[in-house]
Chain A
Amino acid sequence: MITVDRPTRTRSVASKQLFATVLQRQGAAVVLVLVVAVSWLTFPNFGTVDNLRDLALQSSFLAVIALGMTFVIITGGIDLSVGSVYALGGVLAAYGSQWGFFGALLLPLVACGLIGLINGFLVAKTGMAPFIVTLATLLFARGLLLAISHEGSTTYKIAADSAFLTLGRGTFLGIGYPVYIAAILFVVGGIVLRRTAFGDTVFATGGAENSALLMGLPVARTKMAVYTMSGVLAGFAGALTAAYLESGVTVIGVGTELDAISVVVIGGTLLTGGAGSVLGTVVGVLLRDVIQNIINQIGTLDSNYQAVVSGGFLLAVVVVQRVLARNRERR
């Protein structure tokens, strides 16, 4: 895909192109490795088992949301509703826990999946911009959450003896269940994206939607599937969080959609669609939380620098993506 059929291009352009591609795809991974290595040597508390364990656990919730977002962005879409849906999922899980483990799990998955399906249906069938459709469901989900929690004044608790709590609080080999759950979801997500016809259509939809349509690929169905998946995963992340917090906290998830989008893009997924990987998203999530952790380790640094660093990094990544895209157009 990179060279071969363009004998006129000079070697230096080709290598520049290659460098930019590597930078965009693997830049975050390189930075992550560097940052981790430096902090490991600099901060005595960074490399401790406790700290790494906390880091992994903390990252797992956003990771689950960002997995769905990765698929949506690869199709060239965006899902702004995930923050609200995440919070709604948590409240519904806590509410559903009165009907036992499956109530706590199924209620948020079904409800949030439905919201995702509505997103997908409107985006795929009416051709409305994903931005505005999912902005509407962002408001809808937050409103629904406030309605069932009586404007946020009722926090549903999960009974201390509920089996559902284990999902968020249980540990295996000292590491929290949410970490394993997120890891399994990412492996499955990676296989679906890279090794299935569905995954191919996801890439084709974002890369060149018209060609995909001409080729007879099920573009509409694929879009509906990715938005539904994003809703289900956000709801599931909410349920996991509720199990972890032992209650359906109403104040979470504000702005989480932007966190999810930024980690996906930092991880090398093109905001314009057509390219990306779930592994990159893992790197993006980890990078975000490692930076946050380091700012805490430094201690004297204002926590607002977290946003400064993330913002600067995101900007750098988007600039590289733009340069890449322009180089491709020039070919």
Chain B
Amino acid sequence: MASTARRTAVLAVSTTAAVSLALTGCARSESQNSAPAGGGPAASAAASQAAGPTCSIDQAGYPKIDPRSAVIGFSQSEKEDNPFRIAETQSIKDQAAKLGIASDHLLTTNAQSDLNKQISDIKSLLDRGAQLLIVAPLNSDGLQPAFDAAKAKKVPVVTIDRKVTSTPCTDYLTFIGSNFVQQGQRAAAEMVRVTGGTGKVAILLGSSGNNVTTDRTQGFKDGIASAKGLSVVAEQTGDFDRSKGQTVMEQLIQSNPDITAVYAENDEMGIGAANALKAAGKQPGKDVKIVSVDGTRNAVQLIANGGYNAVIESNPRFGPLAFQVLTDFEGGKPVAQNVVISDSQYDETNAAQKVADAY
């Protein structure tokens, strides 16, 4: 019985992922990432979710609502002043429009990086009659009061991009996000490919103290472990920031002139590194290989121009998947408590034609 339920869930999630790919029009050959929630390290933080449990409407005890006619609230966490957040919000709006949801039925708020504001935003969405919620949490902890308010009104909450520590299916319905360790592993595979498996790698780390940085680092190191010719000679934080990435890279070139490759944990730092290399008279993309994670248009354009090697996408387009999960859930299907969004990948073979897909 349990195994049947799990198989159904796996099927549901694969279908969901496939549907979302079709909808976004960015179906990719590398589909390993659309694998359903499993023992991925993103889930390992809460052991209870590691096996891919599901949540159904009977189990959660919510009323049945048709998402197409419901009032839907979306709470964004940070200012839409970076490509990821802009694409994320736009994706939710686009998908709602595509499903024919009236524009006054989609309520949106932006917490401006203020946790207290996000709580009051979510409460105010509920007060204004939101029946379904999509939340991009600002922080893994601290949103409990908002979840409690949603629970009291029997409103299911789909969380996207950052995983919260509250209980799925009870406090919130499900989490949709990237598998950051896998992003690191895929970046490592690309690194091995573009360097031919030999070289000295510098890692530009993201901001310290968050799981994106630790996961992308761990995945990358695991991934290059098998390539004996590749060694990590330097690791420094660039705080996910372009100018810091550039400064750090300038210093690294001074202290380790023989660096042959850079792994940047986001595109902005990678672009900063490319600038630093150019300033030092080296050719980024050729003398020194660069691989990063994100999928912003600037970085993908650099690949197309030959000054960058590969980018693993961190997909911000949660709209299709989020609405699919809500539709499935309200239609009585069990949904996975942990849904992994599929991430694309850009390299010299596809960057020029896919640059329009980048955000």
Give the interface of A toward B (CB within 8 A). 45, 48, 50-51, 54-55, 58, 61-62, 146, 149-153, 155, 157, 169, 241, 244-247, 249-252, 254, 289, 292-293, 296-297, 299, 302-304, 306-307
Contact = CB atoms under 8 A, between A and B. Distances in A.
Contacts of B66: none
A303 B120 CA distance: 13
Contacts of A241: 116
A274 to B, nearest CB: 32
Binding site secondary structure of chain B: mixed
Interface string B229-269: 00000000000000000000000000000000000000000
B109 interface: yes
Contacts of A244: 145
Contacts of A302: 110
Given A54-B120, A153-B209, A247-B141, A45 B129 contact: yes
A40 to B, nearest CB: 14
Contacts of B14: none
B144 A292 contact: no
Interface of B: 79, 104, 107-117, 119-121, 123-129, 138-145, 165, 208-211, 214
B141 A155 contact: yes
B124 A245 contact: no
A54 B124 CA distance: 8
A245 B117 contact: no
A58 B120 contact: yes
B209 A297 contact: no
B127 A299 contact: no
Contacts of A299: 104, 107-108, 128
Given A251-B115, A252-B115, A296 B124 contact: yes
B116 A58 contact: yes
17 contacts: A54-B124, A149-B209, A151-B209, A153-B208, A155-B165, A245-B115, A245-B119, A246-B141, A246-B144, A247-B144, A249-B139, A252-B142, A292-B120, A296-B124, A297-B124, A299-B104, A303-B111
Contact of B124 (A51, A153, A306): A51
Given A54-B123, A155-B165, 6 more contacts: A146-B209, A151-B208, A153-B209, A254-B113, A296-B109, A303-B109
A58 B145 CA distance: 11
Nearest to B110: A303
The 3 closest A-B pairs by CB, nearest first: A151-B209, A249-B142, A152-B209
Nearest to B106: A299
B280 to A, nearest CB: 30
